[in-house]
Amino acid sequence: MNRYEGRRALITGGGSGIGQATVLRLLEEGGTVVAADVSEAGLEDTVQKAGTAAERLTTVVVNVADEASVRDGVAAAVRALGGLDVLVNAAGILRSSHTEQTTLADFNQVIQVNLVGTFLMIRESIPALLDGQEPAVVNFSSTAQNFAHPYMAAYAASKGGIQSMTHALAMEFSKRGIRFTAVQPGSISSGMTDGSGRARQSAGPGLPADADMTLFQKTAPMLQVGHGDFNFAGPDAVAAVVAMLASHDGYFITGTEVRIDGGSHM
């Protein structure tokens, strides 16, 4: 499929996990892409994995939590692409802890990166999207938004805000031609996990050492995909859905979300 031939996309979180998988998927389908990430090393890895398609890939270092960085990064992306048709807000962080031990700084950091970062990227991209072809924005909510994921109150709050904002924006821009949708990943191995689906301990977002794992029984995926100890799917499962939503195939979809969790929350 070449659904993205002649289509210009900006993807945050493009240096790892689902964001990187989405960059590679849209390149595979013929798109011209700017991958944005706070990690230069991650972006270099994405370029390497893009292979010959890297000729249609530009990278830009962006901290989505910083207004000036977002403003400069989006401007650079639009210049490189010559416009903008698709924005994918995949950048995000996960910080898990006992709520009574969660500092205000940690709570605010999750909100700033996930929720405020998504807002800033959208705000700065809207002028270019309004001039784009079949413009579409895909935001990242989570199954944690409306299903109980213990130790993740800040993360759930940030993703709930993103989902609500997606609905509001879809209505606001419905007559101006921009579609807004969201994906709700769950049970996905990504940059936030260690590859088996467990939240990583080393980089900050890991579960508390004394976490009660029985509380996660209701979040176990039902589909048997055989990926990792906990049967988590790879990031390509989400990238495929994002590619559909932001393509012409999704032309009649806006103001809604798609859950991608292997039946964890049936």
**Considering the entire predicted model, what is its pTM?**
0.91
pLDDT profile of the chain (266 residues), mean per 10: 95 97 98 98 98 98 98 98 98 93 95 98 98 98 85 93 98 98 87 46 60 80 66 90 98 96 83
Burial (CB count within 10 angstroms: exposed 0-12, middle 13-18, buried 19+), residue 194: middle
Q: Which residues are catalytic?
A: 155
Dihedral, 246, 81, 84, 249 alpha carbons, nearest 10: -20
| Strand-strand pairing, 256-260 and 179-185 | parallel
- The residue count of the chain comes to 266
Residue 45 resides in a domain: yes
Alpha carbon of residue 43 to chain centroid:
15
Q: What is the pLDDT of residue 171?
A: 98
Calculate helix-pair angle for 40-50, 17-28, nearest 10 degrees.
30
Residue 265 resides in a domain: no
CATH of the domain at 137: 3.40.50.720
Determine the straight-line distance between the first and last CA of the chain, rounded to whole angstroms. Answer: 31
In DSSP notation, 138-183 reads: EEE--GGGTS--TT-HHHHHHHHHHHHHHHHHHHHTTTTT-EEEEE
Long-range Cβ contacts of 142-148 (<8 Å, 24+ apart) = 142/184, 142/185, 142/186, 143/184, 143/185, 143/186, 143/187, 143/219, 143/259, 143/261, 143/264, 143/265, 144/186, 145/184, 147/186, 147/218, 147/219, 147/264, 147/265, 148/218
Token duo for residue 261: 């969790």
Residue 2 resides in a domain: no
- pLDDT digit string (tens) for 203-250? 334 788 888 888 877 777 888 775 455 578 899 999 999 999 999 999
Token duo for residue 182: 């969201």
Residue 164 resides in a domain: yes
Q: What is the pLDDT of residue 191?
A: 60
Evaluated on CA atoms 246, 250, 254, 260, the torsion sign reads: negative
The 32-37 sheet, strands edge to edge: 57-61, 32-37, 8-12, 86-89, 136-140, 179-185, 256-260
Residue 1 resides in a domain: no
Residue 31 resides in a domain: yes
Q: How far apart are CA 265 and CA 217, in angstroms?
A: 11
Number of structural domains in the chain:
1
What residues make up the domain containing 231?
Answer: 8-260
